Structure 1
Amino acid sequence: MMDPSTYKRYHLHGHDTRQFLDQYLSDKAAMIFGEDILIFPMKSLTKAFSAGHINGDILLDLSFGSMVHHLYSACECFKHIVVLKVNDRCILELKRWVDKRTGAFHWGHTAKLHVDIEGKSHQLEDKEVKVRSSMQHVVKCDLEKENMTEPIVLPPADCIISAWLLDAICKDQDDYIRYLRKFSRLLKPGGHFLLFGCLGMTYYTVGKDKFHAVSCDEDFVRKALEGEGFIIDECKIHKRTSVSDLTDYKAIIYIVAHKK
């Protein structure tokens, strides 16, 4: 077994973005994470945004890798979606899809999943167009700077979605709280924070490389949010359904919270 101290770090070393998408988010028959990483988040967010009370001008996406499937519901509720990424490879991968360039990753299976969840399969083409048009602001960020998007100064967001980023960037639980505090500063009072994370995960694999993940349980995540001034409105735990040694998470946690 590989020594955990040799695991790579997502924001320091980067990863092969296409390999990650193929392994965890594709429509290939060998991709076994669909229930956990595609369907569960999409169903959860569709429900959250269709309720009508999470909306506004600006949504910030602070999520892992170059995913887009978690933004299908959000684009109906916000005028602008600003996507923040910590490395250039993720930005290039995203922009390739947004600009419909040759060789872009195929997200059609997730668009179909989304409209099927909504019961609006006739809106499939419109959905992809709407998501692309809402993702025109893809910005490089530096997690260690006081203003992560320097020299750009973003107005406070009405909502933040953070999917699996904290799991990947944090060295330990103290780091988790530190970064959560930085994310919170980007959100206006009363704004909503929608969080997806893995419970009990210590590593994930992309290609031949193993990457570090911070291990958390539900109690820690709840207390971390409450300690940073969030009121938790909903918390769901989705137990792992996939069988694979690519990663060792035990469950997916989903939290909807709002800032005091």
Structure 2
Amino acid sequence: MDCSTYKRYHIHGHDTRKLLEDYFSDKPGMAFGEDMVIFPIKSLIQAFAAGHIKGDILLDLSIGSLVHHLYSACEFFKDIIVLKIKDRCILELKRWVDKRTGAFHWGHAAKHHADIEGKSHQLEDKEVKVRSAIQHVMKCNLEKENMTEPIVLPPADCIISAWLLEFISKDQDDYIRYLRKFSRLLKPGGHFLLIGSLGETYYTVGKEKFHAFSYDEDFARKVLEKEGFIIDECKVQQRTAVSDLSDYKAVIFIAAHKK
């Protein structure tokens, strides 16, 4: 398939549940557990354990209806505000937050968190804390000056963005433009936690292929520094998954703070 025919996440949307099942679940044969679930969990636990990433408000700007990257954050922030582009992502996430019938099962992610932290006896408490911390799940428009118009959000102490920038950006200029928009939501001195896939040109959801902007570690570092961030930590894990659903080469985690 010609890459010019790939769909765009923020324009066309996709089956949110299918994305979760194929890339983030614990179903038999799911190839991406190490890269998409365990690596981000370990990286975030270690970043928060340092003790300097904390505050009142954390904003989440991530792909689909992910939850597993917020388990550590709930221990260090009073309120988590989740911003989503698509209504179907909001519905899927709220189904989990409200413990409705048919919600996606994130128990495997909670168990990974508890095991890595050595707190397996607190497994149930972990999910309760995350649900309590997610105060708002809001729709946003990336093209507006104020993405949450008419609501004006207070500046955040931290932003987590997982697998979103590469899926909404068609090229380098787009990536920089959206990163700049995200940065405006952050307090001076606030932290930015980035999770993404390197060298990716597409990912598949169901029978449809979606565009991904391909970048490398050097680009990610340089663009963050140019936009006024100081990088505190950067980790790259080479791909372990064997699957043709996506062609990413590695997964990156960056913890940075705004000058």
Class of the TM-score when normalised by the shorter of the 2 chains: over 0.9
Quote the residue 2:160 is aligned against: 161
1:142-221 aligned at under 5 Å gives the runs 142-221=141-220
State the Cα deviation string for residues 175-195 of structure 1 (Å, max 9, x = none). 000000000000000000000
1:132-143 aligned at under 5 Å gives the runs 132-143=131-142
130-139 vs 90-99, greater mean Cα deviation? 130-139
1:53-68 aligned at under 5 Å gives the runs 53-68=52-67
1:80-99 aligned at under 5 Å gives the runs 80-99=79-98
Shift of 1:136: 2.6
What is the number of residues matched between the two proteins? 259
Task: Provide the rounded CA distance (Å) in 2 between the counterparts of 1:25 and 1:256.
Answer: 22
**Secondary structure of 2:251's aligned partner:** strand
1:34-45 aligned at under 5 Å gives the runs 34-45=33-44
Residue type at the aligned position of 1:45: L
Task: Provide the rounded CA distance (Å) in 2 between the counterparts of 1:227 and 1:184.
Answer: 12
Shift of 1:135: 1.1
Tell whether the 8 Å contact from 1:199 to 1:253 is kept in structure 2 after alignment: yes
Quote the residue 1:23 is aligned against: 22
Quote the residue 1:104 is aligned against: 103
Residue type at the aligned position of 1:51: A
**Secondary structure of 1:136's aligned partner:** strand
Quote the residue 1:8 is aligned against: 7
Residue type at the aligned position of 2:19: F
Task: Provide the rounded CA distance (Å) in 2 between the counterparts of 1:136 and 1:185.
Answer: 21
State the Cα deviation string for residues 191-232 of structure 1 (Å, max 9, x = none). 000001111000000000000000001111111101100011
Task: Provide the rounded CA distance (Å) in 1 between the counterparts of 2:25 and 2:254.
Answer: 25
Task: Provide the rounded CA distance (Å) in 2 between the counterparts of 1:126 and 1:210.
Answer: 38
Quote the residue 1:46 is aligned against: 45
Tell whether the 8 Å contact from 1:98 to 1:136 is kept in structure 2 after alignment: no
Quote the residue 1:124 is aligned against: 123
Task: Provide the rounded CA distance (Å) in 2 between the counterparts of 1:45 and 1:169.
Answer: 23
Quote the residue 2:257 is aligned against: 258
Residue type at the aligned position of 1:253: I
Quote the residue 1:249 is aligned against: 248
State the TM-score, normalizing by the size of structure 1.
Answer: 0.99
Consecutive unaligned residues in structure 2, runs of 5 or more: none
Task: Provide the rounded CA distance (Å) in 2 between the counterparts of 1:203 and 1:27.
Answer: 22
**Secondary structure of 1:192's aligned partner:** strand
State the TM-score, normalizing by the size of structure 2.
Answer: 0.99
Percentage identity across aligned positions?
80
Shift of 1:19: 0.5
Residue type at the aligned position of 1:48: A
Root mean square deviation of aligned Cα: 0.6
Residue type at the aligned position of 2:119: K
Residue type at the aligned position of 2:92: E
Task: Provide the rounded CA distance (Å) in 2 between the counterparts of 1:118 and 1:48.
Answer: 12
Residue type at the aligned position of 2:166: D
Task: Provide the rounded CA distance (Å) in 2 between the counterparts of 1:221 and 1:125.
Answer: 36
Task: Provide the rounded CA distance (Å) in 2 between the counterparts of 1:65 and 1:169.
Answer: 12
Tell whether the 8 Å contact from 1:72 to 1:127 is kept in structure 2 after alignment: yes
Residue type at the aligned position of 2:59: L
Task: Provide the rounded CA distance (Å) in 1 between the counterparts of 2:24 and 2:225.
Answer: 31
Quote the residue 1:230 is aligned against: 229
State the Cα deviation string for residues 83-136 of structure 1 (Å, max 9, x = none). 000000000000000001111001111111110010000000100000011113
**Secondary structure of 2:221's aligned partner:** helix
- Deviation above 6 Å: which 4+ runs of structure 1? none
Tell whether the 8 Å contact from 1:59 to 1:82 is kept in structure 2 after alignment: yes
